[in-house]
Amino acid sequence: MFIFLSIIILFFIIHINANTFNDTEITYPPFWHIAPSSLSEFPLINDSFSQYRLIDPWFYPHRLGLYKILINVTTPFMPFCSSSNASNILFALPSQFGWQFSSNRLFTNGTMNISTNSWWASANYYLSVIPFLVAVDIGLIHKEPFRILRQNNFCSSSTECFHQIPHAMEQWYLFFLHLTQSASCISNKKLTQRIIEKCYLQHIWTAYKSSIYNALPLVESKLDYLPSEVEKLFGLGWARFINLISMTRKNTDLYETIRNQRKFLPFRMLKESDRIPESNDLPDLVNRSLKNLLSFRFDWLLFIEKIWSRITCNYEGRVYAQYTLETMALSKLLASTYLAKATMNAFLYKCDRLSNL
């Protein structure tokens, strides 16, 4: 009885909207083609003591270049990327960054210069510089002398970042370690979605969450620069909601990320008037997603995560948990059917581990 009551409570509290739109078009982030694809493409600086490449992570093409390099060096370790690098599971990072740029959440205001006052840009800093530095440290990226331009209190070297945000550095190290050893995880098995989830997606989500959650207190002061309370609630809500999405181990390749960005994410920063969806210029599905996110009971989050963790404790449950999230906007009846199936599978099949948190 408790299980079914929990399902009902979860269904009425949790609100992630999606539809069944399928889009396989490859849409790279803005200005992807001009971003550096190797360290040698960054500006060369000669001073009286040394020669090095200078990376300015507050210049949009440079930060995008960090992502581009990561995509280039990791794609060979992902056999499911044989036809296109768009299947690389790291593509959620530059794709989200590109959306932040095009919606002016980086406070670029028509330029390529990212403002250090931007909360979105500041949080994203730890999703770009951290994995890049770790990839260099473990030898994935050819080690050529470089320096990251330091701004304010943002760490700009491995030593500084291990001091400032150690857990994120450790989790990215573990992700790249698992990635380089993924062949042993696959171990001649057929490359099914179950294997991709086990050998790749579970590790990227752990590192991704670590960067976000550990960055939030570091960039809290930047919230005051957001243009409205609605934008602030949206940003914090999205950041806190990530854990629920991550428990389903949703694919983070370019196709999936772009598909969901187009459906759910606002193409501009939010205003106070966006509390009344009927009066704005945002698409209907975006408005419905925002309404659900802004009305989400975050005081119930720990309870929801506990239930969701049990429902997504095995692959069979996670498959239908993803369907649940993807159909809530389309049909609550269909979504509830998927949720019931996910819950049933969570108890019919053995859990991967005791907790999926």
Q: Is the pTM of this model over 0.95?
A: no
Tell me which residue has tokens 């854990």: 243
Q: Which among 356, 352, 324 is positioned nearest to 340, based on CA atoms?
A: 324
* Residue 9, pLDDT score: 46
* Residue 288, pLDDT score: 82
How far apart (Å, rounded) are the C-alpha atoms in residues 61 and 153?
Answer: 22
Q: What is the pLDDT along the chain (357 residues), one digit of tens a residue?
A: 545 445 544 555 444 433 334 456 789 999 999 999 999 999 999 988 899 999 999 999 999 999 999 999 999 999 999 778 999 999 999 999 999 999 999 999 999 999 999 999 999 999 999 999 999 999 999 889 999 999 999 999 999 999 999 999 999 999 999 999 999 999 888 899 999 999 999 999 999 999 999 999 999 999 999 999 999 999 999 898 889 899 999 999 999 999 989 988 999 999 999 887 766 899 988 888 888 788 777 788 889 899 999 999 999 999 999 988 877 767 779 889 999 999 999 999 999 864 444
Residue 357, both tokens: 């948190």
* Residue 21, pLDDT score: 41
Residue pair 265/286 in contact (Cβ under 8 Å)? The answer is yes
Q: What secondary structure does DSSP assign to 272-317, as a single string? A: GGGGSGGGSSS-HHHHHHHHHHHT--GGGHHHHHHHHHHHTSSHHH
Does an H or E element contain 44, and which?
strand 44-46
* Residue 10, pLDDT score: 52
Q: Which among 130, 96, 113 is positioned nearest to 235, based on CA atoms?
A: 96
With b for 16 or more beta-carbon neighbours within 10 A and e for fewer, the 277-286 pattern comes to eeebebeebb
> Residue 192: how many CB atoms within 10 A of its CB?
10
* Residue 267, pLDDT score: 96
Domain boundaries, the chain: 31-225
> Order of strands, edge to edge, in the sheet holding 44-46?
44-46, 51-55, 146-148
* Residue 24, pLDDT score: 62
